[in-house]
Amino acid sequence: MRKRLVIIGAGMASGRVIEHLLAQDPDGWDITLFNAEPRGNYNRIMLSPVLSGEKTYQDIVTHDDDFYTQHNITCRFGEAVVRIDRVKKVVYSNEGGAPYDKLLIATGSAPFIIPVPGHELPGVITYRDMADTQAMIDASAKPGAKAVVIGGGLLGLEAAAGLKARGMEVAVIHLMGYLMERQLDPAAGYLLQKDLEARGITVHCKGATKAILGTDRVEAVLLDDGTVYGADQVCMAVGIRPETRIATDAALEIGRGITVNDQMVTSDPDILAVGECVEHNAQLFGLVAPFYDQAKVVAATLLGNDAAFQPVQTATKLKVTGVDLFSAGDFADSEGREDIVFRDPARGVYKRLVIEEDRLIGAVMYGDTADGSWFFGLIKDGTNISDMRDTLIFGPAYQGGTQADPLAAVAALPLDAEICGCNGICKGTIVSAIEGGAASLADIKAQTKASASCGTCTGLVEQVLASTLGDAFKMPAAQPMCGCTELTHEDVPRLIKARELKSMPAVMQELGWKTSCGCHVCRPALNFYLLADWPEDYTDDAQSRFVNERNHANIQKDGTYSVVPRMWGGMTNPRELRAIADAADKYDIPAVKVTGGQRIDLLGVQKEHLPHIWADLNAAGLVSGHAYSKGLRTVKTCVGTDFCRFGTQDSTGLGIKLEKRLWGSWTPHKVKLAVSGCPRNCAESTCKDVGIICVDSGYEIGVGGAAGMDLKETERLAKVATEQEAIDLTVAFVQLYREHAKYLDRPYKWLAKVGLEWVQAQVVEDLDNRAALIKRFDLSQTIYQRDPWADRATPQAQADFAPLADLTREAAE
């Protein structure tokens, strides 16, 4: 006879109970699962990556419909439970009852709402579930939307970072003197605040919310000190309290949460509780690790096995990409406690250890958290650290004479050291999975759940794999350029400059290339880095160029080519047009098209005709338009003051000057420019790599626009008064991009890495540097600004582009 188990709440804790139950007794239970949310179980701690756009809802679903169907679980999603009848042993929602033999309450917690005036306005939400996350995503869709997050704790900061990543203007209001005051100390809180501010998030500490303003909808937040922050969305993340109403109504014993014993049983022997709604030994829980321990105990209790819940210390990490912080244990100042502090201001690293009676009792780290789990292990185990006190702060690599090798540190961890905090997985579990055949991170995730939740322990799991498997496991390092090297796109150009490597064989030899002559990924990149760094010494290698650049025309899907002559600033004349028309007739061009960059494209040219058509077009004064190059493509213009009644400057003239200065230069990716004569922007300057808008008082220069795979508006580099300054800034910007960007990164991608402010410091503010950049660009142009058509419209090239032999007239035998 199957027993009936009713569960109220489909959260992470109850989901884990179901898994344990099914694993140990697949046929013993008829399970009915109520959930107030209209969906099943998902990984709630991953809502932040969903909010920031790094993951989708589908990525964080832990149990899908198939899972529930397959295990015959009756799902009553979207039904809030209203009453428990403990005498009849029935649970009721508004849609009817469900009888139980055992009942599990997993109602979680409810967020606090500060009852200030205006807290009920539309647009004020908490950050608790998928619906809240979706509401924030929707709010961010409005251009220029503003958000205020009330609460600078873990959840509030993840919400703030996510909203900022979605493009909103974000202010965080925090009541206390520094952020995350329960997990951090003031120094680490300061570094965190600095990091967030550098991302453009406003942080207001010691801010008490007085009222939320608005008529039909939230419009602003007013603080006690009189500050007002505009807001299209307000997110309250000030704390949670256990959701106990249903248990209170059923007259179960309640403290701050539903009281449970070590077996997770409430005051009614047939009712258990798990998760954020429970109170155990007067303690509440808010992190996922103890819930998973509780879930194990709940399953054991239901199956009649012995188990007891024992809370363990937990450590905290903030799930905001690019922010490294770690805190564990107790680090309040107190009598008899001593601190060891390490600071490296240049790197933004801060570490603090709190020691009491020769034992580590607390650790806070910011900026470099690699040793976090080792410190955490010392705290949990109460290890006597007197022997290693002098070097303790430097981490496990410096203890016991071992080498400064992170693998050695992981290898030295005992088997019961916790690796995955979310899932409470210790090193021993991972090692036994590896001994059972698991050989990759994916295997470990599938078999042990380690690193399957928030993922911050992924690096550690990989180190356990590496230290257990030895050479059989290759540590994924930073993404290398390609399979020929372990070095990244950041390393290689740096080493080319530092070691003055001036040829491809020199690079491959000195940097230890694993292949004899590279591959189609690294060769074009190396060719670019070398010619950009050493224009006078390096010889361009045609065989390291993609076919388009080698043949100075775009290859099409049928192997024919398209040919685009340059039209400076989009200007042409009847003579050029006649020459293009004649060429189209002569070479039987099947299609003639005007491109998006104001040029004419001749499509469908046979390869062997290329040197001939170039010669004909050259004769009419036309040169290659480089429509195929990782270099300057076009400078799009409007007609400016010549004809337009709104035009403020000679935009066409400026476009032509820029194109004549920049053409022929090689860049990490294609580069497109535009010059508009007025803010009506007919040349579409605001989505170009460099876009200039002429206004009455001068020139507004925007950079980092895109209109391809990504859509991005330019950001304002500078506004200048004269045309010469506009040209200088553009040239300096392009040279800075040539010298620093990774091959195949368009300027907008590069800008996202280095930041507009750094670029402004280099080319706008530092006049000497600007001049030096321009000088280096012009030097390169003395060598590379050549029309490839003129170079190759020779009898030799005409022969090279033709077949080597024609055997079509040889008869078959």
Partner 1 sequence: MSWLDIGALNDIPQRGARLVKTVHGCVAVFRTGDDQVFAIDDRCPHKGGPLSEGIVHGHSVTCPLHNWVFSLETGMAQGADEGAVATYPARVEGGRILLDAKRLIRGAAA
Residue list 199-218, contact with partner 1 (CB under 8 A): none
How many whole angstroms separate alpha carbon 296 and alpha carbon 19?
A: 9
Closest to partner 1 by CB, 504 vs 717, is: 504
User: Any known ligand binding at 678?
Assistant: yes
Closest to partner 1 by CB, 94 vs 808, is: 808
Give the sign of the dihedral formed by CA 348, CA 354, CA 360, CA 363.
Answer: negative
> Which member of 472, 517, 577, 771 binds partner 1 (CB under 8 A)?
517
Closest to partner 1 by CB, 446 vs 547, is: 547
The minimum distance between CB 555 and partner 1, in angstroms, equals 6
Q: Using the 8-state DSSP alphabet, how is residue 244 labeled?
A: -
> Which member of 396, 518, 664, 698 binds partner 1 (CB under 8 A)?
518
HSE, side-chain direction, 13 A CA sphere, residue 777: 28
> Which member of 66, 335, 696, 806 binds partner 1 (CB under 8 A)?
806
The minimum distance between CB 489 and partner 1, in angstroms, equals 18
Closest to partner 1 by CB, 518 vs 631, is: 518
How many whole angstroms separate alpha carbon 337 and alpha carbon 333?
A: 7
DSSP secondary structure string for all residues of 587-640: TT-SEEEE-TTS-EEEEEE-GGGHHHHHHHHHHTT--B--TTSSBEEEEEE--G
- The token pair at 710 is 């990504």
The minimum distance between CB 709 and partner 1, in angstroms, equals 17
> Which member of 1, 282, 477, 811 binds partner 1 (CB under 8 A)?
811
Closest to partner 1 by CB, 526 vs 718, is: 526
Q: Does 442 bind partner 1 (CB under 8 A)?
A: no
Using DSSP's 3-state secondary structure scheme, residue 202 falls into: strand
How many whole angstroms separate alpha carbon 386 and alpha carbon 742?
A: 48
User: Any known ligand binding at 694?
Assistant: no
- Distance from the Cα of residue 535 to its chain's centroid: 35
How many whole angstroms separate alpha carbon 145 and alpha carbon 231?
A: 8
The minimum distance between CB 618 and partner 1, in angstroms, equals 23
Closest to partner 1 by CB, 345 vs 559, is: 559
Closest to partner 1 by CB, 390 vs 813, is: 813
The minimum distance between CB 545 and partner 1, in angstroms, equals 8
Cα angle: 686, vertex 689, 693; to 5 degrees: 40
Closest to partner 1 by CB, 213 vs 521, is: 521
- The token pair at 701 is 């220069």
Q: How many residues bind partner 1 (CB under 8 A)?
A: 31
Amino acid at 607: K
- The token pair at 498 is 């530092």
The minimum distance between CB 526 and partner 1, in angstroms, equals 12
Q: Pairing state of beta strands 271-273 and 102-105?
A: parallel
The minimum distance between CB 544 and partner 1, in angstroms, equals 7
Closest C-alpha among 427, 418, 407 to residue 473: 407
> Which member of 498, 520, 574, 645 binds partner 1 (CB under 8 A)?
520
> Which member of 87, 557, 574, 645 binds partner 1 (CB under 8 A)?
557
Closest to partner 1 by CB, 301 vs 544, is: 544
Closest to partner 1 by CB, 101 vs 541, is: 541
Q: Does 812 bind partner 1 (CB under 8 A)?
A: yes
Q: Does 516 bind partner 1 (CB under 8 A)?
A: yes
Q: Does 795 bind partner 1 (CB under 8 A)?
A: no
Q: CA gyration radius for the chain?
A: 33
The minimum distance between CB 565 and partner 1, in angstroms, equals 22
Decide: 692 and 674 in contact? Cβ < 8 Å. yes
Closest C-alpha among 535, 541, 467 to residue 504: 541
Per-position x/- string for 410-429, each x denoting binding to partner 1 as judged by CB under 8 A, each - no binding: --------------------
**List of E strands, 624-747:** 632-637, 671-676, 690-695, 698-703, 706-707, 711-712, 715-720
φ, ψ at 177 (rounded to 5°): -70, -25
Per-position x/- string for 642-671, each x denoting binding to partner 1 as judged by CB under 8 A, each - no binding: ------------------------------
Torsion angle (degrees, nearest 10) of CA 428, 433, 435, 436: 150
Closest to partner 1 by CB, 56 vs 509, is: 509
The minimum distance between CB 803 and partner 1, in angstroms, equals 4
Token look-up 């390869």 returns: 607
User: Any known ligand binding at 682?
Assistant: yes
Decide: 461 and 431 in contact? Cβ < 8 Å. no
Residue list 558-587, contact with partner 1 (CB under 8 A): 558-559
The minimum distance between CB 558 and partner 1, in angstroms, equals 7
How many whole angstroms separate alpha carbon 14 and alpha carbon 35?
A: 11
Residue list 496-515, contact with partner 1 (CB under 8 A): 515
Amino acid at 89: K
The minimum distance between CB 539 and partner 1, in angstroms, equals 13
How many whole angstroms separate alpha carbon 273 and alpha carbon 260?
A: 7
How many whole angstroms separate alpha carbon 627 and alpha carbon 168?
A: 36
Closest to partner 1 by CB, 517 vs 790, is: 517
> Which member of 282, 498, 709, 805 binds partner 1 (CB under 8 A)?
805
User: Any known ligand binding at 422?
Assistant: no
Residue 108 CB neighbours (<10 A): 24
Amino acid at 226: G
The minimum distance between CB 562 and partner 1, in angstroms, equals 14
Decide: 148 and 235 in contact? Cβ < 8 Å. yes
- CB under 8 Å to 571, separation ≥6 — which residues? 652, 656
Cβ-defined contacts of 87-92 (< 8 Å, 24+):
89/270, 91/6, 91/8, 91/34
How many whole angstroms separate alpha carbon 535 and alpha carbon 529?
A: 10
- The token pair at 247 is 């248990």
The minimum distance between CB 546 and partner 1, in angstroms, equals 7
Q: Does 709 bind partner 1 (CB under 8 A)?
A: no
Per-position x/- string for 527-556, each x denoting binding to partner 1 as judged by CB under 8 A, each - no binding: ---------------xxxxxx--xx---x-
Residue list 36-95, contact with partner 1 (CB under 8 A): none
Binding-site residues from annotation: 638, 644, 678, 682
**Given the rule CB under 8 A, which residues bind partner 1?**
515-520, 523-524, 542-547, 550-551, 555, 557-559, 800, 803-808, 810-813
Binding-site residues from annotation for [4Fe-4S] cluster: 638, 644, 678, 682
Binding-site residues from annotation for siroheme: 682
